[in-house]
Chain A
Amino acid sequence: MTDDLDIIRAALRDAPKPDPAARKNAIAAAMQNFDRMHQETAAPARPIHDRSLNAAPMKGLAKMFRTLSTHPFLTATTSAAALGLGVVLILPQQDLAPQGQPIAEDVALLEQSEPMVIAETAAAPAPAATSSPAPETAARPSPAPGMTARKMIPSADAAAPRRSAPLEALADFGTAAPPSPVPDQSVPEVPNSDAFANAERNPVTVTTETPVSTFSVDVDTASYAVVRSFLTGGALPPSEAVRIEEMINYFPYAYPAPGDGQAPFATHVTVMPTPWNSDTQLVRIGLQGRLPAVADRPPLNLVFLVDTSGSMQDAAKLPLLKQSLALMLRQLRPEDEVALVAYAGSAGEVLPPTRADQPDVILRALDQLSAGGATAGAEGLELAYRIAEKMTRPGEVSRVLLATDGDFNVGLSDPDGLEAYVEKKRRGGIYLSVLGFGRGNLDDATMQALAQNGNGIAAYIDTLQEARKVLVDQLTGALFPIANDVKIQVEWNPAAVAEYRLIGYETRALAREDFNNDKVDAGEIGAGHAVTALYEVTAPGSPALANDPLRYGEAAAPAAQPTEELGFLRLRYKAPGETKSVLLETPIRAEADSVTPASETNFAAAIAGFGQLLTGATYLGDWGWDEAIALALSARGEDAFGYRAEAISLMRLGQVLDAN
């Protein structure tokens, strides 16, 4: 039967002759781009981001670099920034800003720093740019399940790249090639090799079989930003990119903060009818960290570890990163210190520890960063930690902020080794936060694992607006841990709850015995952070029960326990610097929380619904986008920063994209 193939082979050999006009056009376009790239005079006929940074090694290098200072990027790169700035200017965020500077002045400051930059960059035309970017992806290890194994429950496809095998093999090709200088012509872009960490969705669990549910808190928000970036790009996010708890925790909730002399965070539990199932109930556990006392916080030592590998040259990566860090700089206090380490082909200290009252020095160093070369992340990380250790004096807080597109591990270590290293340093008192930039080879799984082991946040920054949220609004929370290794354990009362399901937190599940083991790491809560977890619970005898009773099992429902208690909530945390954990216990009663507005729980439920709609909606029944949007609309609350309004427009976008 090989003649089948012979027929098709004959047919395929017979490719139609190319149209001469199309041929001429294509060749002309190619030559035009070629000329543009190799022009001696780099006159910016087009907006700056239309030109390839990798053209730099060719000719006119100094001239090209001169045009790459922050100012033109600010004007040209982020149309989203215009929106971001607009919002920023009208919002009252001065209360968090010690110097009360509106963002507009940050921009002005950047502009002022430009002349100095020209002098600097002309003198030092980044040699890194000439080294080929190719090896970085070639040697990039696939995000092995082992990476996530310590605290996440990996599944075979959890950390696996989303692309099919041949494409993955080809991925090095796309990253090796610089972005095309003609984006409008829809040229093939860097293939998308994002890898996402996720595990199987939590199933409905029968209380009599597994009465205890244990997980680590987490305040990461990266997944929400990734989801947003997909939706605004006109595509539904792949289900493995959606981590519902990160979507829920993206939003601030008006939980009352703990008073003085109490635990560093307050626990608020409430029970409400499930929006998507009238026969079940939703139990919301809300933790609110103590609000930051900005005035008397200890001095901060920040080491920015900036990935300047070739893959970072995208407008949504290094330029956005520079702007983000410049924004954050204005929020620091004079006694805070900042150091800057860049890593590409080799790691280097770009800026020695510098006090925050010398912003011009810091901004100039930032502006000099340029992308090029392969990624030697591990080496950079070691250098950053060494510097952070030198900077730390008693009573100060030190943190390494790793900014990367996730393309990480060329250099020495395997991912597991890197993770262990980060963990060791965390025990030494230096934390790590990971800021993800750009899509294309964002290695979400690695970012997650590193940040979780470094007790930090993993946030994904796609717009300047998001940079402001992560770095400015939450500066204090992100940078000042108030409780480490926060674990939650809920024991359900089988007399009141026959089945339960934890919504999200799949990658944060812990074994039951890990709860009391202080050696087992868990997430941290920073100053002012809020953490929300939702359980959907089903009462015995409810028509919504998913599992039939066992014919040969024990007769269930020992009615000894008082049934007004749905369950019992246990929390463990360590105060920063302590090694012994503290236990907090609260019964979960079937009653509403009287201090938190109902809109807060409703909004969290709407977002949980949103996340489930994006991931298959197994448990939602007829409840769909319309209902989710209506619920979110009714629960917008105060929403001073417009986060909830944005979520609602994303839900509408999701509805449209899902309609097919």
Chain B
Amino acid sequence: MAMTLSDETLAKAAATGDRAAFATLLERHYDRLHALCWRLTGHQSDAQDLAHDICASLPAKLAGWRGEARFTTWLYRVAVNAAHDQRRRQAVRNKAALGWGDWEVNRQADIAEAAAAKDWLAAAMATLSEDLRDTLALTMDADLTQAEAAAVLGLSEGTIAWRIAEVKKRLRALATQEAIQ
């Protein structure tokens, strides 16, 4: 029965302490959330961690839920935010580790990362700026319209369209470069 209720109704119930509603929401959205995390991070393990963190923080975040946006829009915003925080933390960690001369740890990590990034997709993603990556990750969601992606990022549709064009331009440049090499 709970399965037929809308996300928004469930979220409202969960925000006021309805356990079953919250569980239903998680079941319903975890896979999509994980997919988005994967597109945002480009790594399976990072995506898992990120999705875990987001889930763990959801109860507290839901307390602020006021039903002003679609639940998925809201959830994706939380995810994009969390991805940014994760990137920032990683940057700090890498920096601190390097600073301590612990280069071996980083070398190992780099090797592992290179292996993970073997396929051209991850490499291509890595060449994009954060803004472009976020935009790409969101607009690639089959269920998310361009307008909704814009709402998640708090941007106009025009900006999204411009960014997509920018992504294409970069990919084309990358392809040309590869052809030359």
Contact B140 A16 (CB under 8 A): no
Interface segment, one of A178-186, A354-362, A431-439: A178-186
Contact B64 A132 (CB under 8 A): yes
Residues of B within 8 A of A16 (CB): 38, 44
Q: Which residues between 235 and 267 of chain A lie within 8 Å of chain B, taking CB atoms?
A: 235-236
* B interface: dominant SS: helix
Residues of A within 8 A of B82 (CB): 187-188
A551 CB, nearest partner CB in chain B, Å: 45
A187 to B79, CA, bound (A): 11
Q: Find A15's partner among B17, B35, B53, B61 (CB 8 Å cutoff).
A: B35
Residue-by-residue, is A412-425 near B (CB-CB < 8 Å gives 1, otherwise 0)? 00000000000000
A182 to B130, CA, bound (A): 27
**Contact status of A5 and B53, CB under 8 A, knowing A11-B121, A27-B27, A657-B99:** no
Q: Is B63 among interface residues, defined by CB-CB distance under 8 A? A: yes
Smallest CB gap from B140: residue in A: A12
Contact B55 A54 (CB under 8 A): no
Q: Is B155 among interface residues, defined by CB-CB distance under 8 A? A: yes
Q: Which residues between 1 and 17 of chain B lie within 8 Å of chain A, taking CB atoms?
A: 14, 16-17
Q: Is A25 among interface residues, defined by CB-CB distance under 8 A? A: yes
A179 CB, nearest partner CB in chain B, Å: 7
Residues of A within 8 A of B130 (CB): 164
Residues of B within 8 A of A658 (CB): 99
Contact A52 B63 (CB under 8 A): yes
**Contact status of A188 and B48, CB under 8 A, knowing A15-B35, A27-B27, A173-B77:** no
Q: Which residue of B34, B92, B131, B167 has the most chain A CB atoms within 10 A of its CB atom?
A: B34
Interface segment, one of A30-38, A319-327, A498-506, A586-594: A30-38
Contact A178 B168 (CB under 8 A): no
Contact A235 B95 (CB under 8 A): yes
Q: Is B105 among interface residues, defined by CB-CB distance under 8 A? A: no
A8 to B175, CA, bound (A): 12
Residues of A within 8 A of B175 (CB): 4
Contact B155 A37 (CB under 8 A): no
Interface CB pairs A-B, < 8 A, 14: A4-B171, A5-B168, A18-B35, A23-B34, A31-B22, A34-B58, A55-B63, A132-B64, A132-B66, A166-B80, A167-B81, A177-B61, A188-B85, A233-B92
User: Across chains A and B, which 9 residue pairs bring their CB atoms closest together, nearest first?
Assistant: A169-B154, A188-B82, A15-B35, A187-B57, A30-B55, A177-B61, A18-B34, A34-B59, A656-B99
Taking Cβ atoms with an 8 Å cutoff, the residues of B that contact A are 14, 16-17, 19, 22-23, 26-27, 30-31, 34-35, 38-39, 44, 48, 51-61, 63-64, 66, 74, 77-78, 80-82, 84-86, 89, 92-96, 98-100, 121, 124, 130-131, 134, 136-137, 140, 142, 153-155, 164, 167-168, 171-172, 175
